[in-house]
Amino acid sequence: VKVSTLFNRQQRVLCNQLPRFAAGVSLPRGLAKLKAVVLLLLLLPANLLAKKKLRGVQEKFGGRLRMAISGGGSLPPYLEAWIDAVGIRIVNAYGMTECAPAIAGRGLNCEIFGTLGPPTQDTELRIVNADGVLLGPGEVGEIQIRGEQVFSGYYNNEEENLKAFTADGFFKTGDLGKLTVTGELIITGRSKEIIVLASGENIDPSRIESALTQLPFVSDAVLVGQDKKGLGALIVPDFEQLRHFVGSTYERGHDSMEHLLKDKHALDRIKAEMNRMLHPKQGFKPFEKLQNIHFLDKEFKIGDELTNTLKKKRHVIETKYHEIIGKLLK
Protein backbone atom coordinates (compact mmCIF):
# COMPACT_ATOMS: atom_id res chain seq x y z
CA VAL A 1 0.00 0.00 0.00
CA LYS A 2 2.82 2.44 0.87
CA VAL A 3 4.53 1.83 -2.48
CA SER A 4 1.30 2.30 -4.42
CA THR A 5 0.43 5.43 -2.41
CA LEU A 6 3.85 6.99 -3.08
CA PHE A 7 3.67 6.09 -6.78
CA ASN A 8 0.17 7.60 -7.13
CA ARG A 9 1.33 10.77 -5.39
CA GLN A 10 4.19 11.28 -7.86
CA GLN A 11 1.75 10.86 -10.74
CA ARG A 12 -0.41 13.60 -9.26
CA VAL A 13 2.59 15.89 -8.87
CA LEU A 14 3.20 15.56 -12.62
CA CYS A 15 -0.44 16.16 -13.47
CA ASN A 16 -0.98 19.09 -11.03
CA GLN A 17 -3.57 17.06 -9.11
CA LEU A 18 -2.50 17.90 -5.55
CA PRO A 19 -3.97 20.79 -3.50
CA ARG A 20 -2.13 24.11 -3.80
CA PHE A 21 -2.62 27.03 -1.42
CA ALA A 22 -0.38 29.58 -3.12
CA ALA A 23 0.43 30.43 -6.71
CA GLY A 24 3.41 28.20 -7.49
CA VAL A 25 6.72 29.58 -8.73
CA SER A 26 7.64 27.86 -11.98
CA LEU A 27 11.17 26.79 -10.94
CA PRO A 28 10.26 24.98 -7.67
CA ARG A 29 7.29 23.33 -9.36
CA GLY A 30 9.51 22.26 -12.23
CA LEU A 31 12.03 20.72 -9.82
CA ALA A 32 9.21 18.91 -8.01
CA LYS A 33 8.05 17.42 -11.31
CA LEU A 34 11.59 16.36 -12.20
CA LYS A 35 11.90 14.63 -8.82
CA ALA A 36 8.53 12.95 -9.42
CA VAL A 37 9.72 11.55 -12.78
CA VAL A 38 12.83 10.06 -11.14
CA LEU A 39 10.78 8.50 -8.32
CA LEU A 40 8.24 7.09 -10.77
CA LEU A 41 10.97 5.32 -12.72
CA LEU A 42 12.52 3.94 -9.54
CA LEU A 43 9.19 2.83 -8.09
CA LEU A 44 7.74 1.32 -11.28
CA PRO A 45 8.84 -2.32 -10.70
CA ALA A 46 7.79 -2.26 -7.03
CA ASN A 47 4.48 -0.61 -7.93
CA LEU A 48 3.66 -3.33 -10.48
CA LEU A 49 4.25 -5.94 -7.77
CA ALA A 50 2.19 -3.94 -5.26
CA LYS A 51 -0.75 -3.65 -7.68
CA LYS A 52 -0.65 -7.41 -8.20
CA LYS A 53 -0.83 -8.05 -4.45
CA LEU A 54 -3.56 -5.44 -3.94
CA ARG A 55 -5.71 -7.15 -6.54
CA GLY A 56 -6.84 -9.48 -3.78
CA VAL A 57 -8.41 -6.56 -1.93
CA GLN A 58 -10.31 -5.60 -5.08
CA GLU A 59 -11.60 -9.17 -5.30
CA LYS A 60 -13.15 -8.78 -1.84
CA PHE A 61 -15.39 -6.11 -3.37
CA GLY A 62 -16.35 -8.32 -6.29
CA GLY A 63 -13.40 -7.44 -8.51
CA ARG A 64 -15.16 -4.71 -10.51
CA LEU A 65 -15.53 -1.86 -8.03
CA ARG A 66 -13.76 1.22 -9.39
CA MET A 67 -15.55 4.09 -7.64
CA ALA A 68 -17.10 4.77 -4.22
CA ILE A 69 -18.93 7.78 -2.80
CA SER A 70 -17.91 9.17 0.59
CA GLY A 71 -20.21 11.38 2.64
CA GLY A 72 -21.69 11.89 6.09
CA GLY A 73 -18.34 12.75 7.64
CA SER A 74 -14.80 13.76 6.82
CA LEU A 75 -12.74 10.92 5.33
CA PRO A 76 -9.32 10.71 7.06
CA PRO A 77 -6.46 11.38 4.59
CA TYR A 78 -4.70 8.10 5.40
CA LEU A 79 -7.89 6.14 4.67
CA GLU A 80 -8.50 7.97 1.39
CA ALA A 81 -4.89 7.24 0.37
CA TRP A 82 -5.33 3.55 1.26
CA ILE A 83 -8.52 3.21 -0.79
CA ASP A 84 -6.86 5.03 -3.68
CA ALA A 85 -3.86 2.67 -3.50
CA VAL A 86 -6.20 -0.29 -3.85
CA GLY A 87 -7.48 1.22 -7.10
CA ILE A 88 -10.89 2.51 -5.98
CA ARG A 89 -11.64 6.12 -6.87
CA ILE A 90 -13.30 8.16 -4.13
CA VAL A 91 -15.98 10.70 -5.03
CA ASN A 92 -16.19 12.95 -1.96
CA ALA A 93 -19.34 14.89 -1.16
CA TYR A 94 -20.11 17.53 1.46
CA GLY A 95 -23.55 18.66 2.52
CA MET A 96 -25.99 19.13 5.36
CA THR A 97 -29.75 18.97 5.88
CA GLU A 98 -30.07 22.77 5.90
CA CYS A 99 -28.68 22.84 2.36
CA ALA A 100 -30.89 20.17 0.82
CA PRO A 101 -28.14 18.79 1.20
CA ALA A 102 -25.42 19.48 -1.40
CA ILE A 103 -22.67 22.06 -0.81
CA ALA A 104 -19.57 20.72 -2.59
CA GLY A 105 -18.41 17.55 -4.31
CA ARG A 106 -15.35 16.06 -5.96
CA GLY A 107 -17.03 14.55 -8.97
CA LEU A 108 -15.43 12.81 -11.92
CA ASN A 109 -14.53 16.20 -13.41
CA CYS A 110 -12.38 17.17 -10.40
CA GLU A 111 -8.93 15.59 -10.14
CA ILE A 112 -7.55 17.45 -7.09
CA PHE A 113 -6.84 14.65 -4.63
CA GLY A 114 -7.48 15.13 -0.90
CA THR A 115 -10.23 17.73 -1.38
CA LEU A 116 -14.02 17.82 -1.46
CA GLY A 117 -13.94 19.52 -4.81
CA PRO A 118 -15.49 22.90 -5.71
CA PRO A 119 -18.88 24.19 -4.53
CA THR A 120 -21.90 22.87 -6.40
CA GLN A 121 -23.35 24.97 -9.21
CA ASP A 122 -24.80 28.37 -8.20
CA THR A 123 -23.42 28.00 -4.66
CA GLU A 124 -21.36 30.79 -3.09
CA LEU A 125 -18.86 29.53 -0.53
CA ARG A 126 -16.42 31.56 1.56
CA ILE A 127 -14.04 31.01 4.48
CA VAL A 128 -14.06 33.63 7.27
CA ASN A 129 -12.34 34.06 10.62
CA ALA A 130 -14.06 34.56 13.98
CA ASP A 131 -14.57 38.25 13.19
CA GLY A 132 -16.19 37.52 9.83
CA VAL A 133 -13.15 38.64 7.81
CA LEU A 134 -12.72 36.85 4.49
CA LEU A 135 -9.71 34.50 4.43
CA GLY A 136 -7.49 33.54 1.52
CA PRO A 137 -6.41 30.12 0.17
CA GLY A 138 -4.86 27.84 2.79
CA GLU A 139 -6.23 29.82 5.75
CA VAL A 140 -8.56 27.89 8.06
CA GLY A 141 -11.85 29.43 9.11
CA GLU A 142 -15.59 28.82 9.21
CA ILE A 143 -17.31 27.67 6.03
CA GLN A 144 -20.21 29.91 5.08
CA ILE A 145 -22.50 29.39 2.09
CA ARG A 146 -25.25 31.12 0.15
CA GLY A 147 -27.42 29.66 -2.60
CA GLU A 148 -30.88 28.61 -3.71
CA GLN A 149 -30.58 25.25 -1.93
CA VAL A 150 -29.99 26.84 1.49
CA PHE A 151 -33.08 26.76 3.73
CA SER A 152 -34.81 29.99 4.72
CA GLY A 153 -34.50 29.40 8.44
CA TYR A 154 -35.53 27.28 11.43
CA TYR A 155 -39.30 27.14 11.88
CA ASN A 156 -40.59 29.58 14.51
CA ASN A 157 -37.11 30.08 15.96
CA GLU A 158 -35.97 33.61 15.21
CA GLU A 159 -33.28 33.50 17.90
CA GLU A 160 -31.51 30.58 16.22
CA ASN A 161 -31.96 32.14 12.79
CA LEU A 162 -30.13 35.29 13.92
CA LYS A 163 -27.24 33.09 15.03
CA ALA A 164 -27.28 30.92 11.90
CA PHE A 165 -27.14 33.63 9.20
CA THR A 166 -24.90 36.60 8.51
CA ALA A 167 -26.29 40.04 7.71
CA ASP A 168 -25.63 39.45 3.99
CA GLY A 169 -27.47 36.11 3.94
CA PHE A 170 -24.67 33.55 4.26
CA PHE A 171 -25.43 30.43 6.32
CA LYS A 172 -22.89 29.63 9.05
CA THR A 173 -22.22 25.91 8.73
CA GLY A 174 -20.16 25.60 11.92
CA ASP A 175 -17.62 23.56 9.95
CA LEU A 176 -13.99 24.64 9.64
CA GLY A 177 -12.17 24.42 6.34
CA LYS A 178 -9.86 26.01 3.79
CA LEU A 179 -9.81 26.54 0.04
CA THR A 180 -7.12 25.77 -2.51
CA VAL A 181 -6.00 28.41 -5.01
CA THR A 182 -8.30 26.81 -7.57
CA GLY A 183 -11.33 26.80 -5.24
CA GLU A 184 -11.52 23.21 -3.98
CA LEU A 185 -12.69 22.78 -0.39
CA ILE A 186 -10.96 20.90 2.42
CA ILE A 187 -12.75 20.41 5.75
CA THR A 188 -10.55 20.53 8.84
CA GLY A 189 -13.03 20.19 11.73
CA ARG A 190 -15.96 21.66 13.62
CA SER A 191 -15.76 25.09 15.24
CA LYS A 192 -17.74 23.86 18.27
CA GLU A 193 -15.27 21.01 18.80
CA ILE A 194 -12.12 23.17 18.90
CA ILE A 195 -10.17 22.72 22.16
CA VAL A 196 -8.64 25.89 23.58
CA LEU A 197 -5.75 25.29 25.98
CA ALA A 198 -5.08 27.52 28.99
CA SER A 199 -2.22 29.07 27.02
CA GLY A 200 -4.63 30.07 24.21
CA GLU A 201 -3.69 27.55 21.48
CA ASN A 202 -6.61 26.29 19.37
CA ILE A 203 -6.58 22.56 18.57
CA ASP A 204 -8.76 20.55 16.20
CA PRO A 205 -9.35 17.23 18.03
CA SER A 206 -10.52 15.24 14.99
CA ARG A 207 -7.15 15.54 13.24
CA ILE A 208 -5.27 14.15 16.25
CA GLU A 209 -7.86 11.44 16.88
CA SER A 210 -7.58 10.36 13.25
CA ALA A 211 -3.80 10.02 13.62
CA LEU A 212 -4.12 7.98 16.82
CA THR A 213 -6.61 5.52 15.33
CA GLN A 214 -4.04 4.58 12.69
CA LEU A 215 -2.33 2.61 15.46
CA PRO A 216 -3.59 -1.01 15.41
CA PHE A 217 -4.23 -1.05 19.16
CA VAL A 218 -6.45 2.08 19.15
CA SER A 219 -10.08 1.40 18.20
CA ASP A 220 -11.22 4.93 19.00
CA ALA A 221 -9.96 8.04 20.76
CA VAL A 222 -11.37 11.25 22.22
CA LEU A 223 -9.12 14.22 22.82
CA VAL A 224 -9.68 16.33 25.96
CA GLY A 225 -8.00 19.39 27.42
CA GLN A 226 -10.33 22.38 27.28
CA ASP A 227 -8.82 25.21 29.41
CA LYS A 228 -6.06 22.84 30.59
CA LYS A 229 -2.28 23.20 30.28
CA GLY A 230 -2.01 20.23 27.94
CA LEU A 231 -3.88 17.48 26.11
CA GLY A 232 -5.10 14.09 27.23
CA ALA A 233 -6.90 11.29 25.42
CA LEU A 234 -9.55 8.76 26.33
CA ILE A 235 -8.65 5.61 24.42
CA VAL A 236 -10.90 2.72 23.44
CA PRO A 237 -8.28 -0.02 22.94
CA ASP A 238 -8.12 -3.21 20.96
CA PHE A 239 -6.79 -5.19 23.89
CA GLU A 240 -5.39 -8.09 21.88
CA GLN A 241 -3.44 -5.71 19.64
CA LEU A 242 -2.34 -3.71 22.67
CA ARG A 243 -1.10 -6.81 24.46
CA HIS A 244 0.74 -7.87 21.31
CA PHE A 245 2.39 -4.43 21.04
CA VAL A 246 3.50 -4.45 24.67
CA GLY A 247 4.63 -8.08 24.46
CA SER A 248 6.66 -7.50 21.29
CA THR A 249 8.24 -4.42 22.83
CA TYR A 250 9.16 -5.82 26.23
CA GLU A 251 9.17 -9.55 25.56
CA ARG A 252 6.59 -10.02 28.26
CA GLY A 253 2.85 -10.37 27.99
CA HIS A 254 -0.07 -9.23 30.10
CA ASP A 255 -2.98 -11.52 30.85
CA SER A 256 -5.45 -8.73 31.50
CA MET A 257 -6.00 -5.05 30.92
CA GLU A 258 -5.76 -4.52 34.68
CA HIS A 259 -2.20 -5.91 34.78
CA LEU A 260 -1.18 -3.92 31.72
CA LEU A 261 -2.46 -0.63 33.18
CA LYS A 262 -0.37 -1.15 36.30
CA ASP A 263 2.81 -1.43 34.21
CA LYS A 264 4.21 2.12 34.14
CA HIS A 265 6.94 1.23 31.63
CA ALA A 266 4.35 -0.25 29.27
CA LEU A 267 2.11 2.82 29.57
CA ASP A 268 5.04 5.15 28.94
CA ARG A 269 5.94 3.14 25.82
CA ILE A 270 2.33 3.25 24.59
CA LYS A 271 2.13 7.02 25.12
CA ALA A 272 5.46 7.48 23.35
CA GLU A 273 4.18 5.50 20.38
CA MET A 274 1.07 7.68 20.25
CA ASN A 275 3.14 10.87 20.39
CA ARG A 276 5.31 9.49 17.60
CA MET A 277 2.20 9.75 15.42
CA LEU A 278 1.91 13.41 16.47
CA HIS A 279 5.47 14.40 15.57
CA PRO A 280 6.18 17.76 13.85
CA LYS A 281 7.35 15.76 10.82
CA GLN A 282 3.74 14.60 10.49
CA GLY A 283 2.54 18.21 10.52
CA PHE A 284 1.70 18.51 14.23
CA LYS A 285 2.80 21.24 16.63
CA PRO A 286 4.66 20.62 19.93
CA PHE A 287 1.63 21.56 22.06
CA GLU A 288 -0.47 18.92 20.25
CA LYS A 289 1.35 16.05 21.96
CA LEU A 290 -0.41 14.03 24.67
CA GLN A 291 0.46 14.64 28.30
CA ASN A 292 -1.58 11.73 29.57
CA ILE A 293 -3.85 8.91 28.38
CA HIS A 294 -6.59 6.80 29.92
CA PHE A 295 -7.86 3.47 28.59
CA LEU A 296 -11.62 2.92 28.72
CA ASP A 297 -12.95 -0.57 29.43
CA LYS A 298 -16.05 -0.18 27.23
CA GLU A 299 -16.56 0.61 23.55
CA PHE A 300 -18.61 3.61 22.47
CA LYS A 301 -22.16 2.65 21.47
CA ILE A 302 -24.68 4.09 19.02
CA GLY A 303 -27.38 5.93 20.94
CA ASP A 304 -25.04 6.58 23.85
CA GLU A 305 -21.65 8.06 22.99
CA LEU A 306 -22.19 7.85 19.22
CA THR A 307 -24.82 9.15 16.83
CA ASN A 308 -26.49 6.90 14.24
CA THR A 309 -23.82 8.01 11.75
CA LEU A 310 -21.04 7.02 14.22
CA LYS A 311 -20.10 10.60 15.08
CA LYS A 312 -18.93 11.18 18.65
CA LYS A 313 -21.27 12.94 21.08
CA ARG A 314 -18.45 14.84 22.75
CA HIS A 315 -20.61 16.50 25.38
CA VAL A 316 -22.00 13.10 26.42
CA ILE A 317 -18.53 11.55 26.61
CA GLU A 318 -17.08 14.49 28.55
CA THR A 319 -19.99 14.43 31.01
CA LYS A 320 -19.84 10.65 31.46
CA TYR A 321 -16.08 10.63 32.09
CA HIS A 322 -15.87 13.99 33.86
CA GLU A 323 -14.04 12.65 36.93
CA ILE A 324 -11.55 10.66 34.86
CA ILE A 325 -10.78 13.70 32.69
CA GLY A 326 -10.26 15.79 35.82
CA LYS A 327 -7.70 13.33 37.20
CA LEU A 328 -6.10 12.89 33.78
CA LEU A 329 -5.17 16.56 33.45
CA LYS A 330 -5.04 17.79 37.05
pLDDT tens digit string along 27-75? 677 888 999 999 999 999 999 999 998 988 888 888 888 888 888 777 8
Q: Are 86 and 59 in contact (CB under 8 A)?
A: no
The count of structural domains within the chain is 3
Together in a domain, 253 and 298: yes
Of the residues 174, 189, 204, the one at which a domain ends: 189
Is 84 domain-assigned? no
Indicate if 214 and 281 belong to the same structural domain: yes
Q: Are residues 185 and 199 in the same domain?
A: no
Task: Give pLDDT, residue 243.
Answer: 84
Same domain assignment for residues 207 and 317? yes
310 and 254, same domain (yes or no) = yes
Q: Do residue 56 and residue 96 come from a single domain?
A: no
Does 80 map to a domain? no
220 and 314 housed in the same domain: yes
Q: Does residue 121 form part of some domain?
A: yes
Is 79 among the domain residues? Answer: no
What backbone phi and psi angles, to 5 degrees, belong to 49? -65, -40
Distances (CA, A) of 66 to 50, 89, 94, 307: 17, 6, 21, 30
Exposure string over 121-138, b if 16+ CB within 10 A, otherwise e: eebebbbbeeeeeeeebe
236 plus 207 within the same structural domain: yes
Question: What residue numbers bound the domain in which 28 lies?
Answer: 2-68
CATH number, domain containing residue 140: 2.30.38.10
Q: Is the domain of 235 the same as that of 177?
A: no
pLDDT tens track for 68-86? 888 877 788 888 899 999 9
Say if CB 303 and CB 312 are below 8 A apart. Answer: no
Handedness of CA 118, 124, 128, 134 (dihedral sign): positive
274 and 157 inside one domain: no
CATH number reported for the structural domain that contains residue 214 in this entry: 3.30.300.30
Residue 179 lies in a domain: yes
Per-residue model confidence (pLDDT) at position 75? 83
Residue 269 lies in a domain: yes
Domain ends where: 146, 163, 189? 189
Do 172 and 212 share a domain, yes or no?
A: no
**189, 217, 239 - which closes a domain:** 189
Looking at the DSSP bridge assignments, the partners of residue 141 are 177
* Predicted pLDDT at 234: 97
Q: Is 74 inside a domain boundary? A: no
**Domain annotation covers residue 294:** yes
Q: pLDDT tens track of the chain, all 330 residues?
A: 889 999 999 999 998 888 999 876 566 778 889 999 999 999 999 999 999 989 888 888 888 888 888 887 778 888 889 999 998 888 889 999 999 999 999 887 788 998 999 999 999 999 999 999 999 999 999 999 999 999 999 999 999 999 999 999 999 999 999 999 999 999 988 888 999 999 999 999 999 999 999 999 999 999 999 999 999 999 999 988 988 888 766 555 556 667 777 778 888 889 999 999 999 988 899 999 999 999 998 999 999 999 988 889 999 999 999 999 999 998
Q: Are 167 and 235 part of one and the same domain?
A: no
